[in-house]
Structure 1
Amino acid sequence: MHFSQEKNKPAKKKTSDAIAKIKQLLRRSKSKMLNKERKNVRGFSDDSEKVKKEERKVVKHDEGEQKKKKRVSRGKQESDDKESDEEEKEDERASNDIEKESNKNENCKIIQPAQNVNVVKCSSNAKSEVEKWVKRALEKGVDGLREEFMQLRRYVPPNMTCKAFEGTYEAGKSRYKDVPCQDQYRVVLKWPGVSDDYIHANYVGTPISKKRFICTQGPMPKSVIDFWHMVVQEESDSIIMLTNLVEKGFNKCEAYWPDEEGGKVIWGDIEIQNHAVRAALTPDEPSIRLCVLNVKWYEDGRAKTREVRHYRWIDWPDRSVPPCRLTSMVLLSHVRGSKKPIIVHCSAGIGRTGAIVAMEFIIERLQTATACESMDQILKELRDQRPFSIQNDLVFQQYLYIHRIMLFYFFEKHNICADTEEMIAKYKRFVEEYNNATKT
């Protein structure tokens, strides 16, 4: 069948317009991704320059596309046909690549990042404070840090009272008899129709907020409903779980959430449904499993829902510390944007929980250029809010772990203080001492 050239032109124009719209959408999508990268920059690096370079590439690409369109519009119809065919082939190849990538990652559902942003602005003097912190840690070394920790090993807040804690161990509301919950900074439950206001949980503040974190014990059979009441009451949208349900034959935490996609559980008047699962937070960090939960409850007779993200560290060893990787930093980067209290728990809610919270506490102080050299004072501040934080049966390993990860993050990832042979030698010595001290 033959079509005249006049009839063929509109069809070519429609095809060209459609391709142009597709490219425009792709450019917008790429631009949004780059903007998201910029928001995730936390300071202490030149990541922002990388983002700017990528943005310049997008702009250059856009300019090239515009020039290309002008050349095509001035060219002959035969050139139009050839260009259109090439673009169609290119789009087909791109579509095939996307389909292959989708098939490759079919078990890893795309989960959009949380929308709330609550990130502290990085001070111009932040790098100076980081350098002081790094130099102090390397100067002290493992032996110096051990001595520092031992001096504070039994520190408890002055005038601490634990009246609300009394009788809760026997009632099945507190996991350990020797880990009391202090009255000051205690989360007080105010759930309609429930007279008991107790849960083993304390607020822990940072430079961003006086209620930045809630450190709590792993839920028990008789405290799961209290736990979810707390999640709803405090409007929390992020939960970090740093324990397994059973470790070395001992129950460490109740299964208080549906772990499989599509699963649903009901605790009292709270319904929790698993909307999506990501088996690994990132391809390089398989230790964190993310579940996106829909929490439903009734308020004044009306149903309400909220999305809560559940991050579970699946392989933090009991009574020890994880391998030296940036898992902690990746995890914190995912919850850092939350405007509401971030709930963190392990089993007792003081050891692994204290270590993770301490890292974010240090980062926020450094970003605001707040003096952070006296780690013993920082430990006191944390324990004033959540007594007995950062300790385990191996005494100081968690304290060392905090320093090891922070040094790895600053020294290796961002090359802070890594510019002289002397500092490099001190860092290597610290790593060797740390490895020897944390052998199990």
Structure 2
Amino acid sequence: MSNNWINPLIGICNTSVLVASGYVIWTCAAKKDKNTSIRSAESPKRPPPKKSIIPTGPSPVKEKNSSSSDEKNTDSAKEKNKKSKENEEGKKEKEKKKSKILGVKEQTDTGSKSKEEDKKEKKKESSKSRKSRKSLKKLLEKSKKSKTVEKKKEKSESDENPEDNEKPPEPGSDPRKIWAFKAAKMKCQAICKLHQDKIKGYMPPNCTYTAYDANPDLSRYTDVRCIEETRVILKNHERDFIHASWMRMPGKDDMSYITTQGPLPETLVDFWHMIYQEKISYVLMLCTLFEGGVEKCTLYYPEKLAEVVRFGRYEITLTECKEEAIANTTWNALTVVDTADPSSEPLYMNHVQVPWWPDQLAPEDARPMIELYKWVKSVNPKGIPICVHCSAGVGRTATFVGIDYATRRIMENPNIEMVDIVREMRAMRFQAVQSHMQFLFLYVALMQYFIDEGVVEMTGRIEAFMTQYKKHAQRKLAKRAVQNQQGEKAAADEKEKEKEKA
């Protein structure tokens, strides 16, 4: 065999080794390409690392060829991967741009909408806040006003009813002092309400009105009745009824008053028959003939000195105009003669008129009335009744009489309530102490009487009560003065119209 002969088995082995090594290299390259593509997809920015291919066979030429082919294959795969990556990146960039553009549009749209909505919400919130602020301000102002009003009320109440730490009268003290201390704790409004609730509509039980019902034309007011059990009965006269009642005082001296209405034209003879029959020494007239253009009483007495007026069988003469009994009053001496009985003696009596006590109300100062009360009590003969009248004979009249009646009852029981006192008086004279102002004035008049007598001091709560009443009365009297002026003007206009018609 020649030296150039080559064993065919060796060649086959070599070729098989080469083929196997190429297959291995190709599979490895493919795996690497797959890995690099996956890595490039996950992280495109990072390039795959280059790895050197190690030849496995003994023939260097075939190794070079195989490596070049592998490099070509890898390069083509890389280029494809790059192109696909570039395409994907381009698509992504386009999508990003579109999304950015759309996002900007949406943001602008939503931003504009949100801005408008924010503005509207801010306006609503601002309007709400303004309204809430205004409401808060109003509430604060109301609270401030209420606080100031409350403070003023507290101040006025403290002024009217000061907390002066006055000690109540000791047990066994004068009953008038005990009563005054207790009564001064009440306020004017509370006393007026007491009259409204417990006295105004009160009618004494078991009373009859037989003669009153039988003579409706002889009553000035249809709602003011005359109680049968206490009425003054006229004797030796054409009729026995007159709208007048006896009011007898508690005690042993049998002191009594005749309380009557202001005479009507139909009752002038009846009135003077009663005066002459009961031998009256003093008649107190607590009203004027006209008030606010309305007649309150018919003229039943002579007005000029030596003037003579005649009513039925009686002649009345004004014999003397005396000095004022108290300030702003008229005091005249009258003589009454019964012309039907020549043998009868004339009656010498006194007529005192008080023109400053308005109907349904009361004076702002009780001192003049207490002076008049004490004066009449001192000059009137004992055992002879005092005749008192106003317009209806129940309001001002019974309030004046109430000074005497209540004083006597307080001396008996200092804890007696004024409601009970007035109800006792109403059992004698229908609707006695008619209005709440008269009821309040009765408290004030009694306190003033007890002060004048030196039993009660004008200090502390009593002084506060008196000043409180004075303010209350001044307001009422001011309103009444305006009403009277209007009534007088209306009455004057009616008279002028009647003259024009005549």
TM range (shorter): 0.5 to 0.7
Residue number in structure 1 paired with 2:203 = 156
Matches within 5 A, 1:259-298: 259-278=303-322, 280-282=324-326, 286-298=327-339
Label 1:269 to 1:300 Cα distance change in 2 as closer, same or farther (>3 A). closer
Q: CA deviation at 1:436?
A: 2.7
Label 1:177 to 1:188 Cα distance change in 2 as closer, same or farther (>3 A). same
Label 1:415 to 1:335 Cα distance change in 2 as closer, same or farther (>3 A). closer
Q: Secondary structure at the match of 2:205?
A: coil
Label 1:389 to 1:254 Cα distance change in 2 as closer, same or farther (>3 A). same
Tell me, yes or no, if structure 1 residue 205 matches structure 2 residue 241.
no
Q: CA deviation at 1:318?
A: 2.9
Q: CA deviation at 1:186?
A: 0.7
Q: In structure 2, what residue type is equivalent to 1:321? A: A
Q: Number of aligned residue pairs: give it.
A: 301
Distance (whole Å) between structure 2 residues aligned to residue 303 and residue 409 of structure 1: 40
Q: Secondary structure at the match of 1:349?
A: coil
Q: 1:255 aligns with which of 299, 308, 324?
A: 299
Residue number in structure 2 paired with 1:316 = 357
Label 1:228 to 1:416 Cα distance change in 2 as closer, same or farther (>3 A). same
Determine if contact 1:243/1:312 at 8 Å carries over to the other structure. yes
Determine if contact 1:218/1:252 at 8 Å carries over to the other structure. yes
Q: Secondary structure at the match of 1:266?
A: strand
Distance (whole Å) between structure 2 residues aligned to residue 210 and residue 290 of structure 1: 26
TM-score normalized by structure 1? 0.64
Q: In structure 1, what residue type is equivalent to 2:420? A: Q
Which of the two has greater helix per residue? 2
Label 1:186 to 1:141 Cα distance change in 2 as closer, same or farther (>3 A). same
Pairwise CA RMSD: 2.4
Distance (whole Å) between structure 1 residues aligned to residue 301 and residue 341 of structure 2: 25
Residue number in structure 2 paired with 1:186 = 231
Determine if contact 2:364/2:469 at 8 Å carries over to the other structure. no
Q: 1:427 aligns with which of 440, 444, 463?
A: 463
Q: In structure 1, what residue type is equivalent to 2:179? A: W
Tell me, yes or no, if structure 1 residue 379 matches structure 2 residue 415.
no
Residue number in structure 2 paired with 1:118 = none
Tell me, yes or no, if structure 1 residue 246 matches structure 2 residue 290.
yes
Q: 2:274 aligns with which of 230, 255, 264?
A: 230
Q: Secondary structure at the match of 2:387?
A: strand
Residue number in structure 1 paired with 2:191 = 145
Q: CA deviation at 1:210?
A: 4.9
TM-score normalized by structure 2? 0.56
Distance (whole Å) between structure 1 residues aligned to residue 388 and residue 452 of structure 2: 27
Residue number in structure 2 paired with 1:353 = 397
Q: Secondary structure at the match of 1:388?
A: coil
Determine if contact 2:364/2:474 at 8 Å carries over to the other structure. no
Distance (whole Å) between structure 1 residues aligned to residue 184 and residue 355 of structure 2: 30
Q: CA deviation at 1:127?
A: 6.3
Label 1:371 to 1:432 Cα distance change in 2 as closer, same or farther (>3 A). closer
Q: Secondary structure at the match of 1:165?
A: helix
Label 1:407 to 1:211 Cα distance change in 2 as closer, same or farther (>3 A). closer
Residue number in structure 2 paired with 1:303 = 344
Q: Secondary structure at the match of 1:277?
A: strand
Q: Secondary structure at the match of 1:344?
A: strand
Whose RCO is larger (CA < 8 A, sep 6+)? 1
Matches within 5 A, 1:9-408: 128-149=174-195, 150-169=197-216, 172-191=217-236, 194-208=237-251, 210=254, 212-278=256-322, 280-282=324-326, 286-298=327-339, 301-336=342-377, 337-366=381-410, 369-371=412-414, 373-392=416-435, 396-408=436-448
Instruction: Determine what percentage of the aligned residue pairs are the same residue.
Output: 28
Q: Secondary structure at the match of 1:139?
A: coil
Q: In structure 2, what residue type is equivalent to 1:386? A: R
Q: CA deviation at 1:270?
A: 0.8
Q: Secondary structure at the match of 2:174?
A: helix
Q: CA deviation at 1:142?
A: 1.7
Q: In structure 1, what residue type is equivalent to 2:467? A: V
Distance (whole Å) between structure 2 residues aligned to residue 429 and residue 242 of structure 1: 25
Determine if contact 1:142/1:430 at 8 Å carries over to the other structure. no
Q: Deviation digits for residues 45-99 of structure 1, max 9, x if unmatched? A: xxxxxxxxxxxxxxxxxxxxxxxxxxxxxxxxxxxxxxxxxxxxxxxxxxxxxxx
Q: CA deviation at 1:228?
A: 0.7
Q: CA deviation at 1:378?
A: 0.7
Determine if contact 1:203/1:210 at 8 Å carries over to the other structure. no
Q: Deviation digits for residues 311-330 of structure 1, max 9, x if unmatched? A: 11012123321130412112
Q: Deviation digits for residues 216-242 of structure 1, max 9, x if unmatched? A: 000010101101111111121111101
Distance (whole Å) between structure 2 residues aligned to residue 213 and residue 429 of structure 1: 30
Label 1:301 to 1:429 Cα distance change in 2 as closer, same or farther (>3 A). closer
Identify unmatched segments of 5+ residues in structure 2. Answer: 1-170, 477-502
Distance (whole Å) between structure 2 residues aligned to residue 126 and residue 234 of structure 1: 41
Q: Secondary structure at the match of 2:344?
A: strand
Q: In structure 1, what residue type is equivalent to 2:417? A: S
Identify unmatched segments of 5+ residues in structure 1. Answer: 1-124
Q: Deviation digits for residues 102-161 of structure 1, max 9, x if unmatched? A: xxxxxxxxxxxxxxxxxxxxxxx9961111120121022323322332312211110221
Distance (whole Å) between structure 2 residues aligned to residue 126 and residue 388 of structure 1: 35
Q: Secondary structure at the match of 2:211?
A: coil
